Structure 1
Amino acid sequence: MELGLQGKVALITGASKGIGLETALYLVKEGAGVTICARNQDRLEEAAAYILEQSGKEVFVVEADVTNEEDCQRVVAATVEKYGRLDILVNNAGTSQAHPFDKVSPELWQQDLDLKLFGAIHCSRYAVPHMRQVGGGAIINVTAGIGKTPPASSLPTSVSRAAGMALTKAMSKDLGPDNIRVNTVCIGLIRSEQIEKRWKNQNPELSWEEFSHKERQIPLGRIGNTDEAAKVITFLVSDAASYVSGTSVNIDGGMLGTL
């Protein structure tokens, strides 16, 4: 299948590790120019070295904090200055903050919304004019399944992720006439530093495969891998998904109780 990504330009936030890093790797393999940004310059350099080793191609590295609107504007401008255009934005920056309602301080509410919701808003705001200039584009807001079915003690993450889903639908309606597609991927249990820490603390005697297959609530019987999420994102930003907009795709092994 031809994905049509050759010569396209993508900006990926939170791309020094995990899903963002793997998505950058898949996009450069498909011929896209890619900017990766995150808050830690050392980790960004390590990510760029990994991508070069795996693909033989370089990515553009910009240290940026998407909770700062000026940084969002700067990383978009730097990407366009480097490549001359911008076609794809993957709003991936985020962390997992899961607490009971009465344990979430006003400061934590604000930090979480600034990172996951307003980071996506500001990056999109500055990216959209450049997408219009090239005749369209694709935006992915990376959210999480708990935004659809929030369990107890899932705050503030479940609320900010739900807001990201609403943002996706509204943006898709407003930007569709400009041929800018906006979708979200709802992440379930995907291998991450947090999950690996749980594995090493709780079951160090098990291999990763053995630990992964202990997750009985997942119909597919295992924790997902970052590349499995990256492949879906790569498809959604490609020409192969040219008629897909305003939707959410669960990447959760069938765990969620909702579509």
Structure 2
Amino acid sequence: MDLQIDGNAALVTASSSGLGKASAKALAREGANVVVNGRDEAQLADAADEIRAVASGEVVEQPGDLTEKEDIEQLVERTVEEFGTVDHLVTSAGGPPSGPFLETTDEDWYEAFDLLVMSVVRLVRAAEPHLREGDGGTIVNVTSRSVKEAIDQLVLSNSVRMSVIGLEKTLSKELAPEVRANAVLPGSHETSRIEELIEQSMDRGEYDSYEEGLDDWADGNPSERIGDPMELGEVVAFLSSPKSSYVNGTAIPIDGGSGASNL
């Protein structure tokens, strides 16, 4: 399917690894010009090279910390400088620390809110004039299935990410019809983070092999596996395209059916 985004300009945050990188790769493969972002410049350069290998558009890297207002403004400015506008904004960010409620501090809560919510607020604020300029600006927020079902030991993610969904729904109305806003809610995907957790478990003797660890992560999933990051990336690309022009204000689980929520 031709998604009709060839030559469009996309900014994808936290795209030096994981689901952000998969989203950037899917957009670049469809012909979009993409700005990728991360804090580690060496890792970001490697990710950009990996994306260029499949891209039919241009790929530009811009380092930056999503908790820094100035870095966010520079991300948008660099995208406009390179490509003239911002047609598609994909917000992704690393997860806050795990742990139970009683072990979290005020500082933990403020840091999680700054990373997960204020980064989106600042990105949309800076990108909004450019998103409105084109024929179909889009925002896709990569969050987590934890907004539908609280996950044990993830009180910060469970609580704070829900604010992004409230913001996404509000934006889908306030910025329409020029700009559409949607969210994707990933379950477990085979990212470098999952690989790291499985390898740590193997070091502790909890698994005899990496495959056993993957099977454990997939336990209870009707699809009998965890996701490939590109499966989520392709949904992000679809939501950024005219092919999804009547999809607005939605939050789509990408979890292989593992969620127990009816809605």
TM-score by length of 1: 0.94
**Contact 1:7 1:31 (8 Å CA) reproduced:** yes
| Structure 2 CA distance for partners of 1:171 and 1:35, relative to 1, 3 Å | same
| Structure 2 CA distance for partners of 1:7 and 1:166, relative to 1, 3 Å | same
Task: Indicate the SS of the match to 1:195.
Answer: helix
Higher strand share: 1
Q: Which amino acid aligns with 2:162?
A: A
Q: 1:57, CA displacement in angstroms?
A: 5.4
Q: Which amino acid aligns with 1:120?
A: V
**Contact 2:37 2:44 (8 Å CA) reproduced:** yes
Provide the residue aligned with 1:130 in structure 2: 130
What's the CA shift string for 1:39-94, capped at 9, x where partnerless? Answer: 11111101111112334754111111111112111110111011011100000122
Q: Whole-Å Cα distance in 1 between the matches of residues 75 and 26 of structure 2?
A: 21
Residue range with higher mean Cα deviation, 144-153 or 42-51: 144-153
Q: Whole-Å Cα distance in 2 between the matches of residues 143 and 253 of structure 1?
A: 16
1:1-259 map, 5 Å: 1-55=1-55, 58-177=58-177, 179-203=178-202, 205-208=208-211, 210-214=212-216, 215-258=218-261, 259=263
**Contact 2:32 2:57 (8 Å CA) reproduced:** no
Q: 1:227, CA displacement in angstroms?
A: 0.7
Aligned pair count reads 257
Q: Whole-Å Cα distance in 2 between the matches of residues 14 and 167 of structure 1?
A: 19
Q: Which amino acid aligns with 2:191?
A: S
Q: Which amino acid aligns with 1:111?
A: E
Query: Please, which runs of 5 or more residues in structure 1 have no aligned partner?
Result: none
**Contact 2:172 2:182 (8 Å CA) reproduced:** yes
| Structure 2 CA distance for partners of 1:253 and 1:96, relative to 1, 3 Å | farther
Q: Whole-Å Cα distance in 2 between the matches of residues 212 and 251 of structure 1?
A: 17
Residue range with higher mean Cα deviation, 234-243 or 44-53: 44-53
**Contact 1:48 1:58 (8 Å CA) reproduced:** no
Task: Indicate the SS of the match to 2:62.
Answer: strand
Structure 1 segments (4+ residues) deviating >3 Å: 54-58
**Contact 2:64 2:71 (8 Å CA) reproduced:** yes
TM-score by length of 2: 0.92
Q: Whole-Å Cα distance in 2 between the matches of residues 154 and 48 of structure 1?
A: 31
Task: Indicate the SS of the match to 1:213.
Answer: helix
Q: Which amino acid aligns with 1:239?
A: P
